[in-house]
Structure 1
Amino acid sequence: MNFNMKKNFFEFFAGVGLIREGLSSDNWICSLSSDVSTDKKDTYVKNYGEKDFLLEDIWNISKDISALEGSAFLYTASFPCTDLSISGNRAGLAGIHSGTIKAFFEIIKIKKSKNEEPKVILLENVNGFLNSHNGKDIKHTIEAFSELDYYIDILEIDANFFTAQSRKRIFIIAVEKSLAEKEMKIKNENEEANWWTEFDSNKKIRTAQIKKVILNCPDLKWGIFKINFNNEIHNDLEKYIQKNLPMTSKKWWNQTRKEYLYSQMTRTHKDRLDSLVNAKNLSYSTVFRRMRNGKSTAEIKTDGIAGCLRTPRGGSSKQILIRSGNGSWDVRYLTSREYARLQGLRDSYKLPDIENKALFAMGDAVCVPVISFISKKILTPLYEQWISDNEQSPL
């Protein structure tokens, strides 16, 4: 049996392995993972072993692909968002971090010259990628795929349809032409009206921003998958909280720190907190520090959904948790285990021992059940179609 008949994948920009986690639940086999971060490698290896891991800069891999032995049906790349995020410097694909996607395309080109290119590619990034450099970055990316004879579908999925975290991310699925023509509805002039009807049928995951990208690049290779998406928003933050954390823990803030946080709230947010404190039942809310008119303010969020988890480069990036009710309230930061739960991870997943490293690992990762959803709805059906076409059985 050929190596490329496995239901396998190569994972680039692997981070701490949350794409692998999501795909593994759908029986995908990881043949290789790579990342440049030693911290991320340490966490990855603790959970999945070091057999498949390659610690290397992707630019170096693109210059010598000997480590990428054989083929994989699927390539995944959760490439750095630093230059694309609204919280980053917005240098786009010209930036030193997000620009590493160019090395990824070099690898695909070389593999294609050897007839070892992947049949399917999954890219993940922040939704800011859709408008980075006025849409030029996403256009260049889709052009690169089109030149390699892949057809593209783009989804924008918010993690709050799967866990109690607001986290919008875009997912670009690129499919090799012969497989795309069987599994995707291809955009063409003769059936364009029907194509757009299908596109507009599910606005939860095919947003106006994505539509704008396609309208601005009408001649590129577009296709869409028929997906039934009727998930409801998760607003059950309490489910993800470590309620057994003792009040003697140093994680809970002292009175002085609490009072300072309260002083940063506007009257509206103070009234909101006071109402929660006077309630008969305990409840959990998150608080965000934001700059308003040049002043740092604290804003309480009571919709049962955590904000988007971020890497803890500063205090304002950490999410604050308030437990309130029965006449009192207590404050602390969300723990790394709570971050992990909000990313859809099992509690048996081994986090870094240093809390800040664990927060960084989770803030820089993907939401696991979102990946599982994409796998079950798109990636596995593509693999099964390909197996059927080749009239062989997978290993």
Structure 2
Amino acid sequence: MTYKYKSIDLFAGIGGIRLGFEKAFGKNIETAFISEIDLNAQKTYKANFNDKFEICGDITKIDEKNVPKFDICLAGFPCQSFSLAGKRLGFLDDYKGLSRGTLFFEVARICEYHKPKVIFCENVKGLLSHDKGRTYTIIKNRLEKELHYKVFEEVLNSRNFGVPQNRERIYIVAFREDIAPKQFKFPKSNISTTLKEIIEENEVSAKYYLSDTYLETLRRHRARHELKGNGFGYQIRSLDDVAGAIVCGGMGRERNLIIDKRLSDFTPVTHIKGQINREYVRKLTPREWARLQGFPDDYILPLADVHLYKQFGNTVTIPVITAIAKKIKEVLDCDEK
């Protein structure tokens, strides 16, 4: 079978960007190369994609000449150094000897050699304002002035694309100059939904319900912060509302608690202090987090919860990616005519 476009998946995570593009392009796209350094993310990726080649690890050790020819670069380069939730060190951020902020330049290095038609990146909204806008200016100048791409960017909120999550992210689409359109219009959407649409259909395990001791600790913690005038603390979300952003590292579970009165057995299944709370307060499950990101229910969750929370907090919202990818496909298909 001949595919129209070949793509590479850099900082691939668990394949969220790839899924969005495959949904938009259908049989007209084929993944030719994957790079992901996190071994647990690799396990989840392999459980869900049947590739005939191995996932490559550290992108800094990959020679661009060894990357197969491709048309579309997909790159959700790490958000930690730009996130509002992080230390916002940008290009100075060092992690295990690697500067996470400079990992964008690994994308640029590979794309400068191969000159694909499109470079697609996703990142946190804070990338735009980091260092008074200088960080994004550096990224844009690298793409436009040195690699000769025309860059378009837009901040979109996942809650407008049919998932109940208030999640703003920046999406960057860069077209090679010779095929670049004069304008690129990002998708507009106003499809709203609520948490009750993504809740598990059946009663969930007691392990997702908070202990009364822990719930009381959260209440005291929030009360202390409120006295100081801070807004930090746990939140119980109405099922008629949306979740707050699920974030990098799997944090934020306590900001997205719900009340689910279906629990029939209050016997703890894990070691907890106290008893399971009788107010029916629980965390969302990994499957519910997957749904918050628009992952299909046949997406396999092969690892322990702690890894899954981290992976879905780090990944992308598939319906947003799909909507943008459809717009990109329109431009590419016009160029083919």
Query: Shared topology, TM-score over 0.5?
Result: yes
Distance 1:80 1:176 in 2: 23
Return the offset for 1:38. 1.1
Distance 1:104 1:87 in 2: 24
Query: Contact between 2:165 and 2:243, CA under 8 Å: does it hold in 1?
Result: yes
Q: Give the letter for the 1:99 counterpart.
A: T
The 5-angstrom pairing of residues 158-177 of structure 1 reads 158-162=157-161, 163-177=163-177
Distance 1:109 1:261 in 2: 50
Query: Contact between 2:80 and 2:248, CA under 8 Å: does it hold in 1?
Result: no
Distance 1:58 1:291 in 2: 46
Query: Contact between 2:16 and 2:318, CA under 8 Å: does it hold in 1?
Result: yes
1:14 matched to which residue of 2? 12
Query: Contact between 1:41 and 1:55, CA under 8 Å: does it hold in 2?
Result: no
1:392 matched to which residue of 2? none
2:310 matched to which residue of 1? 360
Post-superposition Cα deviations, 1:53-108, rounded to whole Å, max 9, x if no partner, equal 432211111xx224312x21111110001100011121112321121111221112
Query: Contact between 2:234 and 2:256, CA under 8 Å: does it hold in 1?
Result: no
Distance 1:78 1:290 in 2: 36
Distance 1:94 1:16 in 2: 26
Query: Contact between 2:18 and 2:74, CA under 8 Å: does it hold in 1?
Result: no
1:255 matched to which residue of 2? 212
| Structure 1 unaligned spans of 5+ | 112-116, 186-223, 267-288, 389-395
The 5-angstrom pairing of residues 91-102 of structure 1 reads 91-95=89-93, 96-102=99-105
Aligned residues: 310
TM-score, structure 2 as length reference: 0.83
2:247 matched to which residue of 1? 310
What is the SS of the residue equivalent to 1:178?
A: coil
The 5-angstrom pairing of residues 1-395 of structure 1 reads 6-26=4-24, 27=26, 28-61=29-62, 64-69=63-68, 71-95=69-93, 96-111=99-114, 117-146=115-144, 147-162=146-161, 163-180=163-180, 184-185=181-182, 224-227=183-186, 229=188, 231-232=189-190, 234-246=192-204, 249-263=206-220, 293=229, 297-302=233-238, 304-312=241-249, 318-323=254-259, 329-377=279-327, 379-388=328-337
2:269 matched to which residue of 1? none
Q: Give the letter for the 2:71 counterpart.
A: F
1:193 matched to which residue of 2? none
Q: Give the letter for the 1:45 counterpart.
A: K
Distance 1:295 1:366 in 2: 26
Return the offset for 1:322. 2.2
Post-superposition Cα deviations, 1:176-213, rounded to whole Å, max 9, x if no partner, equal 11211xxx23xxxxxxxxxxxxxxxxxxxxxxxxxxxx
Looking at CA atoms only, which structure, 1 or 2, has the larger radius of gyration? 1
Query: Contact between 1:312 and 1:360, CA under 8 Å: does it hold in 2?
Result: yes
Return the offset for 1:52. 4.1
Distance 1:143 1:357 in 2: 36
Query: Contact between 1:80 and 1:125, CA under 8 Å: does it hold in 2?
Result: yes
Distance 1:323 1:341 in 2: 18
Return the offset for 1:144. 0.7
TM-score, structure 1 as length reference: 0.72
| Structure 2 unaligned spans of 5+ | 94-98, 263-277
Return the offset for 1:297. 3.5
CA change 1:320–1:149 in 2 (3 A) is closer
* 4+ aligned runs moved over 3 Å, structure 1: 254-266, 289-303, 311-314, 316-320
